[in-house]
Chain A
Amino acid sequence: MSGDTTNTGSPATDFARQTMEVDIACVGFGPATGGFLTTISRAWAENPADPAFESKVAPGMPLQVVCYERADDIASGVSGVVTRAQGIRASFTELNPAEIPMATEVSSERVLYLLDPLGASRRSYTLRIADRVLRALGPIAKVRDHSFELPWTPAFLKKHGGLVMSIGQFNQWVGSLLMTSGLVQIWPGTPVSEPLFEPTAAGRAVRGIRLTDQGVDKKGNPAGGFMPGMDVRALLTVVGDGPVGSVSQSIDREFGTPPAHSHDEWALGMKFVIELPEDAVADSPLNSGAVWHTFGFPEPEVFGFLYVHPARLVSVGIFIPSWMTDPSRTAYRYLQHYIQHPALWRYLKDGTLRSWGAKSIDESGKLGEPHLTGDGYARIGENSGSTNVLTGSGVDEAWTTGTQLGEAAIELLRAGLPFTQRNLNETYVKLRRASWVEQGAREAQNSRNGFRAGIVKGMIGMALTGLTGGRLSLKASKRSAGERVVRVEESLTRKKAAELIVADGRPLHDALLSARGWPEIHFDGRLLISHQDALLMGGKVQAVPGSADHVVFPDAGLCIVCDEKTCIAMCSGQAITLADDGAPTFEREKCVHCGACLWNCAHPPPDSLSPIEFRGGAGGLHSAEN
């Protein structure tokens, strides 16, 4: 391995960029790269003397495999996960959930339609009629606590036989096994800035990655202790950086996306981890392994979930989708209203908030699939469109695409073949296309089409797709980016909202919710706390000193004239706020790297979701109880 290793940690004054050579460099540590690295290191452990595993860049040494994760800890991932764990169990045949903290087998499942007890949600006429009918039928229809439980769980949602997990703990567990194996090295707190492109006879190849600069000011200019990000040259770059990863974005810009494919559909998932008190509510259905899927509240477009982990921990959260066209759509306050819905609150109300988190979810599925391979790189996991948007599952699919790439890499190493696009297509892509992941993605492809026309149509569409295994679906109606956000507020509500803003300086989206009739949240300092206090829950959200701002507004002029400021309403950590001149400002210390700013612009330029740049950066969430 070339490169200068005499640095003992004293402040660097050498401005030359360091380089390093490895065989395989992975971007991001999550279920996808976890699957990839597990597959590779197992094959190596079975026969370390296999010449396939000899390093090409460091002769005499085993394969040099590194993985760079931007979060300060590999346990910081956010997601309350329920998964069928098909791919995961194939890799861990003797898996005992008790080995993984916060993991347990699914014990029960229900789907609830939540009515609105407050009358504040923006339901369509059709839906309000449906609610009225349900209320009238009352106990006959088994309407309880303003909720209606579906008599059966649709097969496409069913997770029975699966696992409830914390993704952070799962990643931590996988990471520990990998580190002990000795072949791979995982480096947290090391964000990747961009891929390294190189011209070739055939066009351009990816030849590794560049890490972010350290010791810079907010704008990225060298400051004290400047250390330019190292170039890690690799024969294969495994891109597993999630739905908003900077390397994925770079590659999409460089090589484009397949025709008619785009990342149009998103959701922001935000969740709490709540600890239930020791004396459980009588007949509480919240036993370890219980899984709830909900829809209808706080707004018709919002799906919700509740998964019960062992030790009385509950992951409960909602998804705010991009097809909810309210410009002031927001997550945190809605989540607080969600947990106060009578059907949930009766079991949650004496609980204690342990942690909070949020992430963007790419809901485009197969229609958002990028070019899966190129010369020198392959894409796995959520950034590669593997998430099944019908079943709402991504972890298992990501893991499986990782194992598929792992097997492909082993095959190519054994054959002594280079990691060209063609070779990767003939191994990785072929495996993937033949697998259940692909099948699921195809079935799900059109499942969400109806939502663009409204919630009722959307649910019908989803049911149609789900129940016919993808054979029947509603047609897609392409909505232009500008129509994504629609202002329909009537003037009286806006006036009331403006008064609230003046009275106590609250943000617009918060004032609008109150003006629409959503009751104020009564903070109790235990379960219902202010948004800023949530950032301090568990492990505090942090920024790493000496790093540049990773959310950049290149054209403040565009932002100043924007009325909707949806990016501010949707920022999970309230890191994006307004300066006095109306330009947006960014506070790195509050950013949880959810990526919502990437798809929540009310006035995006043509051919783009948002003018806001979301780059690689360290820091963010720090809780392991997530």
Chain B
Amino acid sequence: MQTAFHIVVCAGIVPDPLQSLEPITTTAGPGLKNEMVLPAVLDPWAASALYEAAALAAKAPGGRLWLVSLGPKAKLQQVMMTVAQKVLFELAPIDGPIGGFPDAHATAAILADMIAALPGLDRERLLLFGGWESAARGAGVTLQLVGERLGISDQFQGVDQIDLHDDGSFEVLERVEGGKYQVSVCAGAPAVLGWATGNLAEPRNNPQLGMANMRTIMPALQKAPASKLEANGLSYISAALPKQQRTTRVVKDMTPDQIAAELAEWIGTE
């Protein structure tokens, strides 16, 4: 018999990775130009965590799946227009600032408080999922801090796979150096899993799912509590686009053999 978990997925929103980004200075520190205007997506690895969570929930029905997300309400709403079509979940949004520059400790504090207050959450069955590193801050710190705040000391990062055993325990694959996986077995919930890409393809847009989700998502968004992020003594001295422009030598008139010879010399022996 499969345990029915209570899976909470923490996911922020980030600008669509293919947009042009430019840092600017705001009163609250560095920010991105036009961030509120740029199309946003659910943080990619956190989105993987969400899809893996949904797959897990399908294997062991009877559980619950929450998506906890901190961001400006309007942007969250836009992102939900796509995400809500993918998998079924309950949304627990927090209306707050966007971006990778605010202090991760402040973000984690707010998320942890929200999760602790989720009605009906059973800590003994809690699997805390999220992205290992975000596409914004890319620190790999927030989820870990949330887990620590919730008193969970079985944490896994860089996860690509989880396999459930019948007794409620599970095996986890974490990315380590050299392209390998470390394989661990955990006795069961509670646990924290910071996901990398996982193995699942992005689910297709399913309008029926979207409509079912929207019934709970819209009211939740309207009731989202507002929050402020503490600075926690973090300050930025500079934030800039790297200046990296090389002078490229374009070679058009060498034969493949000549090119190979030149490359072989460049690569050298060691």
Contacts and interface: CB of A to CB of B under 8 A. Distances in A.
A9 B206 CA distance: 8
B88 interface: yes
Contacts of A101: 34, 36-37
B171 interface: no
Nearest to A504: B252
A180 interface: yes
B250 to A, nearest CB: 12
Contact of B211 (A20, A102, A172, A354): A20
A546 B204 contact: yes
B20 A187 contact: no
Contact of A1 (B81, B82, B211): B211
B90 interface: no
A8 B54 contact: yes
Interface in B19-74: 19-20, 34, 36-39, 51, 54-55, 57-58, 74
Contact of B20 (A4, A20, A354): A354
Interface string B206-244: 111111101000100010000000000000000000000
A625 interface: yes
B78 A176 contact: yes
A624 B19 contact: yes
B38 to A, nearest CB: 5
Interface centre among B19, B38, B206, B222 (most CB of A within 10 A): B206
A3 B81 contact: no
Interface in A212-236: 214-215, 224-225, 227, 230, 232
B204 A624 contact: no
Interface in B84-122: 85-88
B18 interface: yes
B55 A188 contact: no
Given A9-B51, A9-B58, A625-B37, A227 B19 contact: no
A540 B36 CA distance: 19
Interface centre among B19, B74, B81, B214 (most CB of A within 10 A): B81
A12 B204 contact: yes
A180 B77 contact: yes
A10 B204 contact: no
B20 A538 contact: yes
A615 to B, nearest CB: 17
A190 B39 contact: no
B148 interface: no
A214 B204 contact: yes
State the main secondary structure of chain A at its contact with B.
Answer: loop
A8 B57 contact: yes
A426 B218 CA distance: 36
Interface centre among B82, B85, B208, B209 (most CB of A within 10 A): B208
A211 B207 contact: yes
Given A5-B212, A18-B208, A189 B85 contact: yes
B208 A540 contact: no
Interface in A73-96: 73-76
A185 B208 contact: no
Contact of A185 (B39, B57, B82, B211): B211
B55 to A, nearest CB: 6
Contact of A624 (B37, B74, B88, B205): B37
A396 B37 CA distance: 23
Contacts of A232: 207
Contact of A179 (B19, B57, B58, B77): B77
Given A354-B20, A539-B39, A4 B208 contact: yes
A5 B209 contact: yes
Interface string A182-217: 100111111000000000000000000001001100
A134 B70 CA distance: 62
Interface centre among B19, B20, B74, B214 (most CB of A within 10 A): B20
A81 B208 CA distance: 34
Nearest to B81: A188
A8 B37 contact: no
B60 to A, nearest CB: 11
Interface in A3-45: 3-5, 7-12, 18, 20
B201 interface: yes
A266 interface: no
Name the interface size band of chain A.
35 or more
A537 interface: yes
Contacts of A622: 16, 18-19, 39
Contacts of B58: 8-10
A72 interface: yes
B209 A624 contact: no
B207 A624 contact: no
A8 B85 CA distance: 10
A623 interface: yes
B138 interface: no
A537 B55 CA distance: 35
A75 B39 contact: yes
A10 B54 contact: yes
Contacts of A3: 208
Contacts of B214: 185
A188 B82 contact: yes
A378 B216 CA distance: 31
Nearest to A355: B20
B207 A537 contact: no
A614 interface: no
Contacts of A387: none
A68 B82 CA distance: 12
A624 B39 contact: yes
Contact of B204 (A20, A73, A215, A623): A215
A186 B80 CA distance: 11
Contacts of A68: 207
Contacts of A625: 20, 34, 37-38
B85 A187 contact: yes
Given A539-B19, A622-B18, A623-B19, A7 B208 contact: yes
Contacts of B211: 1, 20, 66, 185
A9 B86 contact: yes
Given A8-B209, A11-B203, 10 more contacts: A8-B54, A8-B57, A179-B77, A179-B218, A188-B82, A189-B82, A211-B207, A536-B18, A622-B19, A625-B38
7 nearest A-B residue pairs (beta carbon): A9-B87, A540-B18, A9-B203, A214-B204, A9-B54, A5-B212, A101-B37
28 contacts: A3-B208, A5-B88, A9-B54, A9-B88, A9-B209, A20-B208, A20-B211, A73-B39, A101-B37, A102-B37, A179-B81, A179-B218, A185-B210, A186-B81, A187-B207, A187-B210, A188-B81, A214-B204, A215-B204, A227-B204, A230-B207, A537-B20, A539-B16, A539-B18, A545-B201, A622-B16, A623-B19, A625-B20
Interface of B: 16, 18-20, 34, 36-39, 51, 54-55, 57-58, 74, 77-78, 81-82, 85-88, 201, 203-212, 214, 218, 222
Interface of A: 1, 3-5, 7-12, 18, 20, 66, 68, 72-76, 101-102, 169, 172, 176, 179-180, 182, 185-190, 211, 214-215, 224-225, 227, 230, 232, 354, 536-540, 542, 545-546, 622-625
